[in-house]
Amino acid sequence: MNLGRPIGLTQLTTALEGGRLGELLAVPGCVRVSGVAWNPRSYVDALARVGPLVPTRSTHLNHPLREVFVVDGGLDVGANWHADLVFCAEAPRFSALLCEAAPQEGGETELVDSRRCLEELPPDLRALVRRVEGVFDGGLVQGRKLRRRGLVEEAERTETEAPLHVPLARVHPESHRWGLRYHAEYLTGFVGLSPRDAARLMEALRAVVDRPDLRYRHAWRPGDLLVFDNRAVLHRRAPGPIAGARRLLRVMMY
Ligand SMILES: O=C(O)CCC(=O)C(=O)O
Ligand SMILES: [Fe+2]
């Protein structure tokens, strides 16, 4: 399988410097490099050559560099299949994870190629995915979280900002294959579908992105770097217990 293809650091830096990261990732969707000796500053500087970096939001100021978000596995961040920030009008094109500390057991990162997932859907649903808009509703998701924690009675919306309506799939510019804009939590519905069609589509998407035979599972070692195209692949932290410290530095690029 191409997903998670191992490459050397020189090959990656050559692509970054030549503005060809999209080309490098067009087929595999995600590449991995091992033994990377970058410090956070050199990491950020190398990836900033691709495009503007996404600053972390005020609630997530957990690293002195604003472009770095520390992922440890203790939060519910990344526990469900998703592409990063697809509930924002402009989602990043690329994401990267650099491992500072790896657990002895568990805490792998899993990836799936959403272009492949789409090809695996039955033809009628594939056609539907290509024309329907998804509803990404951050306010509703926050409301559901408060409801689960017993803080509100109803899973009502917590924010006044309108839900985002965006095409659920689009043609990936480098590979010319359709990719999914998907987030298992934040995709809350579809524009204009009957409840029955919406439920069927939601279930089919949930099932296809979770197919074990389509995924790449990365067991971390310090110095491992994953760089992926956020428009082509989905990812999550593998479910299950984690033994030992886990520290990944995430950087995202517009
Ligand atoms: O913890 C992981 O493996 C994934 C984290 C993630 O998806 C994120 O921080 O966006
Ligand atoms: Fe993520």
Cβ 44 vs Cβ 63: under 8 Å = no
pLDDT of residue 155: 67
C-alpha to C-alpha distance for 3 and 230, rounded to whole angstroms: 13
Ligand 1 pocket, mutate which of 62, 69, 97, 110 (most atoms under 8 A from CB): 97
Output the average pLDDT for the chain: 92
Nearest ligand, measured from the Cα of 71: 1
pLDDT tens track for 3-61 = 999 999 999 999 999 999 999 999 999 999 999 999 999 999 999 999 999 987 655 55
Residue 70 Cα to ligand 1 middle (Å): 9
Q: What is the mean pLDDT of residues 106-115?
A: 97
pLDDT of residue 118: 97
Percent of the chain with pLDDT over 90: 79
pLDDT exceeds cutoff 90 at 107: yes
Atom of ligand 1 nearest to the CA of 107: 3
Q: Is 84 in the pocket of ligand 1 (CB under 6 A)?
A: yes
pLDDT of residue 1: 58
pLDDT tens track for 165-206 = 999 999 999 999 999 999 999 999 999 999 999 999 999 999
Q: Which fold has domain 5-112+215-253?
A: Double-stranded beta-helix (3.60.130)
β partners of residue 233 = 113
Q: What is the mean pLDDT of residues 215-243?
A: 97
Cβ 91 vs Cβ 229: under 8 Å = no
Q: Quickly count: other Cβ atoms within 10 Å of residue 245's Cβ.
A: 13
Q: Is 180 in the pocket of ligand 1 (CB under 6 A)?
A: no
Nearest ligand, measured from the Cα of 97: 1
pLDDT of residue 161: 75
Residue 211 Cα to ligand 1 middle (Å): 19
C-alpha to C-alpha distance for 93 and 170, rounded to whole angstroms: 13
State the Cα angle at 196 between 195 and 197, rounded to 5°.
95
State the Cα angle at 54 between 224 and 72, rounded to 5°.
45
| Ligand 1: residue whose CA is nearest its atom 6 | 78
Please give the backbone phi and psi of residue 153, each rounded to the nearest 5 degrees, phi first: -75, -45
Spans of all domains in the chain: 5-112+215-253, 116-209
| CA proximity to 91, closest of 248, 188, 250, 229 | 229
Residue 151 Cα to ligand 1 middle (Å): 26
Percent of the chain with pLDDT over 70: 95
Q: Is 80 in the pocket of ligand 1 (CB under 6 A)?
A: no
C-alpha to C-alpha distance for 228 and 83, rounded to whole angstroms: 10
Residue 41 Cα to ligand 1 middle (Å): 20
pLDDT of residue 149: 75
Ligand 1 pocket, mutate which of 98, 109, 228 (most atoms under 8 A from CB): 109
Q: Is 237 in the pocket of ligand 1 (CB under 6 A)?
A: yes
User: SS3 sequence, the chain?
Assistant: CCCCEECCHHHHHHHHHCCCHHHHHCCCCEEEECCCCCCHHHHHHHHCCCCCECCCCHHHCCCCCCCCEEECCCCCCCCCCECCCCCCCCCCCEEEEEEEECCCECCCEEEEEHHHHHHHCCHHHHHHHHHCEEEECHHHHHHHHHHHCCCCCCCCCCCCCCCEEEECEEECCCCCCEEECCECCCEEEECCCCHHHHHHHHHHHHHHHCCHHHEEEECCCCCCEEEEECCCEEEEECCCCCECCCEEEEEEEC
pLDDT of residue 59: 52
pLDDT exceeds cutoff 90 at 146: no
pTM: 0.93
pLDDT exceeds cutoff 70 at 68: yes
Residue 82 Cα to ligand 1 middle (Å): 9
Cβ 253 vs Cβ 101: under 8 Å = no
Q: Is 116 in the pocket of ligand 1 (CB under 6 A)?
A: no
